[in-house]
């Protein structure tokens, strides 16, 4: 039984051996041989080959029978191989069942292959393969993993790993290899030909990658250090992220949140290989609403649902959405699954805690016997057409037969030139092209509008001629919430509006951050101090000044002035400001913050809780050098200070700040007053 067994008989022998050792680790060799139906000599041959191949390890056995001197345990590689062979074994058995069913009845069983899809995928009732090992194996692997190199997963990687392990990303068996990655980029196909439109990769830092080589196992941990899985590394490579951005997202434009993530957040090296699942990530929120693919399939089996349409959303549900979902379910003659994303969505979206409360508040508006609410822990990429196709495959894995695909589904908004990233109907066209192969039917999203004379909603293309059409856009809804204006009942449910107002009070009652940026000596700190005094004079909200020099002293005293350390310092300031903003206070920040990507990261951090007001103090370099109160420019010119912003390191000017302030020949009080006027115009303070 060589290490690279390929024939069915060798695979079967290996599968049966690993399965037996996993189920009965304490059985004697005689009992194991009897269970496998082989002689002791044959068993020893298999055990020796499996040990040499790295599938099992030998340990001394402690017991009264000295003839049983050894025990055999599955290694990480063995557990991963067992999971892979289990999937192959089940697929072959289903194929045999199909053939027998056809022979005996003259009809197909309904579990036959459809192009590249496996028989398991053809029924929304059959269980789908998972990557978890048994409880006993998980305990052994968890102990073993303590000695392995560990990678602490990011929030996005935890979302990806969970869907890999529970079958949501089937047929993926782990993070993509380089061959799979290249296939997905070039033609939306894995190396085996399976349709898959979105890269699912494990990005790591260069320092960590230098410690790992293919053939090595690493432990994957969550933010609290809990071991969730083991990755058997088969591939390590440095991707061309600009090519990835162009091919997957259509443009290498950092206005796209996923492209910005690629270039400014993701690690520079990718690792690929099969994953062995030890335990699922722990969720403390809405546990009763979180279902794995197999739990949903079991739920559908129990209720006798055969056709189920999924409604994907990352926004609260309003009355138009309710009417849309009613019509979609009726059109498909199907039950309805409301399946919102509660992992990572677009920066600035309503947080998932608020959204789920909104969903639960209106769930009784739906017939309980025909509708189910389940949460999907997916990290969205906002990838437009490819993302829509990805969503459809994921929903098929969860047991769905139909899915509503909207206009500009998963679109990220405007690009750097102010145009939409994707054609509004490109997502629907791509899903329609592949729906037969996926095995899920697309239901067109119909834009619903309220007809005043009829006091009901109609699809926009079915509005009676001469009718008065009422609609509120997302921008208008946010404005009304921000300014505390009425939101009519024809647009949304009172329960939903109540929840939104709890999270999004009028702007004059929200926390916010004023973020000054500019060269050293530009006047940031002086203006920030003047602004703080004016805001404290007004009163109403606690105000905190996070000056660059003060933060360096109290929060970042161990950091140097390299680009990496300066980024860390700014992100620390952003984190503190976001906490102040979240709790209704005013944060005033005055660092140099020379890099666009870092300022954007801070903006996204803060805008999850309140307004972010970027103020560019646009004092020229010549004027800053002339002032040079601390003598820093002189030292930088002499080469005594390395990587000094404006001299030996660049300052990337903000392109679209909320306010640009000129300080030359303008007194400080006037500059601070300009900021006050801007805050008034934005509704953040009362005039």
> Binding site, residues?
518-525
Closest CA to 201 of 162, 175, 221, 165: 175
Strands 441-444 and 456-459 turn out to be unpaired
Q: Is 539 left (phi over 0), alpha (psi -120 to 50) or beta?
A: left
Beta-carbon contacts of 148 under 8 Å, excluding residues fewer than 6 positions away, are 76, 217, 218, 219, 230
How many helices (H) and strands (E) the chain has is answered by 24, 22
How many CB atoms sit inside 10 A of residue 68's CB?
16
The active-site residue out of 234, 265, 315, 544 is 315
In this structure, what token pair is assigned to residue 15?
């599968």
Active site residue 45: no
- The Cα 309–Cα 348 span in angstroms is 28
Alpha-helix residue ranges (DSSP H) falling in 467-591: 474-483, 494-503, 524-538, 548-554, 563-582
- The Cα 113–Cα 95 span in angstroms is 9
In this structure, what token pair is assigned to residue 93?
């058995």
Active site residue 315: yes
Burial-class residue 624 by CB neighbours within 10 Å (0-12, 13-18, 19+). buried
> For residues 378 and 314, is the Cβ–Cβ distance under 8 A?
no
How many CB atoms sit inside 10 A of residue 225's CB?
9
Q: How far is CA 89 from CA 85, 94, 169, 297, in A?
A: 6, 9, 20, 21
- The Cα 187–Cα 116 span in angstroms is 14
Closest CA to 22 of 73, 70, 58: 73
Under DSSP, is residue 376 helix (H, G, I), strand (E, B) or coil?
strand
Distance, CA of 222 to chain centre: 14
In this structure, what token pair is assigned to residue 501?
């107002």
Is-cis flag, bond preceding 215, omega within 30?
no
Beta-carbon contacts of 110 under 8 Å, excluding residues fewer than 6 positions away, are 122, 123
Annotated binding site for ATP: 518-525
User: Residue 565: what are its φ and ψ, rounded to 5°?
Assistant: -70, -35
DSSP for residue 105: H
The active-site residue out of 84, 314, 566, 599 is 314
Under DSSP, is residue 346 helix (H, G, I), strand (E, B) or coil?
coil
In this structure, what token pair is assigned to residue 621?
């370099």
CA-based diameter of the chain, in Å? 96
In this structure, what token pair is assigned to residue 100?
């027998």
- The Cα 539–Cα 528 span in angstroms is 16
Task: Compute the Cα dihedral for 627, 632, 635, 641 and give only its sign.
Answer: negative
The active-site residue out of 313, 569, 581, 619 is 313
List, by residue number, the catalytic residues. 313-315
């Amino acid at each position: 039984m060589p290490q690279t067994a390929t024939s069915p008989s060798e695979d079967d022998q290996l599968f049966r051996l690993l399965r037996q050792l996993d189920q009965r680790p304490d059985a004697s060799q005689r009992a194991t041989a009897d269970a496998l139906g082989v002689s002791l000599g044959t068993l020893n041959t298999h055990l020796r080959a499996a040990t040499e191949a790295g599938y099992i390890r030998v340990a001394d056995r402690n017991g009264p029978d000295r003839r049983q001197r050894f025990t055999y345990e599955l290694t990480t590689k063995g557990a991963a191989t067992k999971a892979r062979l289990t999937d192959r074994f089940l697929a072959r058995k289903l194929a045999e069942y199909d053939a027998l069913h056809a022979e005996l009845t003259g009809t197909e069983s309904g579990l036959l292959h459809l192009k590249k899809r496996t028989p398991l995928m053809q029924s929304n009732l059959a269980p789908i393969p998972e990557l978890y090992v048994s409880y006993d194996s998980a305990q052994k692997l968890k102990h073993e993993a303590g000695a392995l190199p560990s990678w602490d997963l990011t929030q996005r990687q935890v979302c990806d790993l969970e869907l890999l392990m529970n079958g949501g990303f089937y047929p993926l068996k782990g993070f993509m290899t380089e061959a799979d990655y290249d296939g997905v980029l070039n033609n939306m196909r894995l190396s085996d030909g399976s349709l898959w439109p979105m890269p699912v990769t494990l990005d790591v830092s260069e320092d960590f990658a230098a410690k790992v080589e293919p053939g090595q196992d690493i432990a994957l941990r969550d933010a609290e250090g809990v071991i969730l899985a083991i990755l058997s590394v088969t591939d390590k490579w440095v991707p061309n992220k600009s090519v990835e951005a162009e091919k997957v997202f259509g443009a290498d434009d950092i206005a796209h949140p996923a492209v910005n993530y690629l270039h400014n957040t993701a690690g520079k090296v990718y690792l690929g290989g099969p994953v062995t699942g030890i335990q699922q990530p722990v969720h403390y929120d809405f546990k009763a609403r979180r279902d794995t693919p197999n739990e949903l399939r079991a739920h559908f089996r129990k209720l006798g649902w055969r056709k189920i349409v999924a409604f994907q959303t990352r926004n609260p549900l309003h009355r138009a959405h309710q009417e849309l979902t009613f019509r979609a379910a009726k059109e498909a003659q199907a039950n309805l699954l409301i399946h919102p994303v509660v992992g990572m969505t677009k920066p600035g979206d309503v947080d998932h805690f608020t959204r789920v409360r909104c969903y639960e508040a209106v769930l009784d508006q739906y017939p309980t016997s025909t509708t189910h609410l389940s949460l999907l822990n997916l990290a969205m990429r906002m990838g437009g057409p490819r993302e829509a196709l990805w969503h459809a495959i994921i929903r098929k894995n969860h047991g769905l037969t139909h899915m509503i695909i909207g206009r500009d589904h998963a679109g990220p908004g405007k690009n750097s030139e102010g145009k939409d990233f994707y054609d509004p109907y490109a997502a629907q066209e791509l899903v329609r092209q592949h729906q037969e192969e996926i095995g899920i039917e697309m239901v067109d999203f119909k834009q619903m509008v309220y007809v005043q004379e009829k006091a009901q909603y109609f699809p926009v293309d079915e509005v009676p001629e001469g009718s008065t059409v009422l609609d509120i856009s997302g921008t208008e809804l946010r404005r009304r919430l921000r300014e505390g204006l009425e939101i009519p009942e024809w647009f949304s449910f009172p329960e939903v509006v109540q929840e939104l107002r709890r999270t999004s009070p009028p702007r004059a009652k929200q926390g916010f951050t004023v973020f000054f940026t500019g060269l050293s000596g530009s006047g940031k700190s002086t203006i920030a101090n003047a602004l703080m005094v004016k805001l404290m004079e007004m009163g109403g909200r606690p105000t905190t000044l996070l000056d660059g020099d003060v933060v360096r002293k109290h929060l970042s005293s161990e950091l140097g002035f390299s680009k990496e350390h300066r980024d860390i310092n700014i992100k620390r300031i952003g984190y503190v400001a976001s906490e102040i903003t979240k709790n209704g206070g005013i944060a005033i920040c005055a660092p140099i913050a020379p890099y666009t990507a870092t300022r954007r990261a801070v903006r996204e951090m803060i805008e999850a809780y309140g307004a972010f007001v970027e103020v560019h103090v646009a004092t020229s370099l010549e004027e800053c050098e002339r002032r040079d109160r601390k003598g820093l420019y002189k030292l930088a010119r002499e080469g005594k200070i390395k990587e000094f912003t404006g001299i030996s390191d660049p300052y990337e000017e903000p392109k679209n700040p909320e306010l640009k302030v000129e300080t030359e020949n303008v007194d400080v009080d006037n500059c601070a007053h300009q900021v006050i006027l801007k805050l008034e115009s934005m509704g953040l303070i009362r005039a």
